[in-house]
């Protein structure tokens, strides 16, 4: 394997350096950065960016999400999902959402929403491999919802 050593890289038509490498192996990219290829692409460390609000900040990505039909006889992996293995239907309005890849701990945040009708959502039993949720009607009775969305941030 060959090694290319440089501290600054720039395109021939550019007036300034496009990529600057410091002594700690940190890279600063001016312009657009595209990571492409087949399979998984990974970036180690903290991902930070300026999305036009005047400062660079750390991005906290969604670690898992799912949209499922709580009224279905079999829920499985729902309508669409990311990092979700399946939803277990524990009974009316009671679901366990199982992750494909475990969380590092149970200190994550859960956002849940459902349709347009009134009611309450309760998250409970946080685990590294799953989280349980319950959906209630406006009269506080457990009820299945036709559209349930769950998002996990960590």
Full set of structural domains in the chain with CATH: 62-153 (2.60.40)
Per-residue pLDDT of the chain (154 residues; tens, 9 = 90+): 677 777 777 777 777 777 788 887 777 777 777 777 777 777 677 777 777 777 888 878 899 999 999 888 888 888 999 999 999 999 999 999 999 999 999 999 999 998 777 788 889 899 999 999 999 999 999 999 999 999 999 8
What pTM was computed for the model? 0.70
Report the pLDDT value the prediction gives residue 5, as an integer from 0 to 100: 76
Q: Round to whole Å and give the CA distance between 98 and 96.
A: 6
**Nearest-angstrom CA–CA distance, 120 and 112:** 10
Please tell me the predicted confidence (pLDDT) of residue 131.
96
Q: Are 121 and 133 in contact (CB under 8 A)?
A: yes
Handedness of CA 142, 117, 153, 71 (dihedral sign): positive
pLDDT value of position 11: 75
Tokens of 51: 């999305």
For the CA atoms of the chain, what is the radius of gyration?
A: 22
> What's the distance, CA 55 to chain centroid?
22
Partnered with residue 65 across adjacent β-strands are 82, 151
């Amino acid at each position: 394997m060959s090694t290319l050593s440089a501290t600054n890289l720039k395109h021939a038509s550019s007036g300034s350096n496009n990529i600057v490498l410091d002594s700690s192996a940190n890279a600063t990219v001016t312009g657009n950065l595209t990571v492409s290829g087949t399979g998984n692409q990974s970036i180690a460390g903290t991902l930070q960016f300026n999305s036009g609000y005047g400062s660079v900040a750390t991005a906290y990505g969604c670690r898992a999400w799912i949209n499922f039909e709580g009224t279905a006889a079999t829920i499985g992996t729902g309508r669409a999902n990311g990092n979700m293995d399946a939803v277990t239907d524990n009974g009316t309005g009671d679901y366990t959402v199982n992750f494909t890849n475990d969380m590092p701990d149970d200190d994550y945040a859960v956002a849940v929403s459902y349709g347009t009708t009134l009611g309450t959502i309760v998250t409970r039993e946080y685990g590294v491999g799953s989280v349980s949720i319950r959906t209630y009607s406006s009269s506080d009775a457990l009820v299945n919802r036709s559209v349930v969305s769950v998002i996990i941030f960590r």
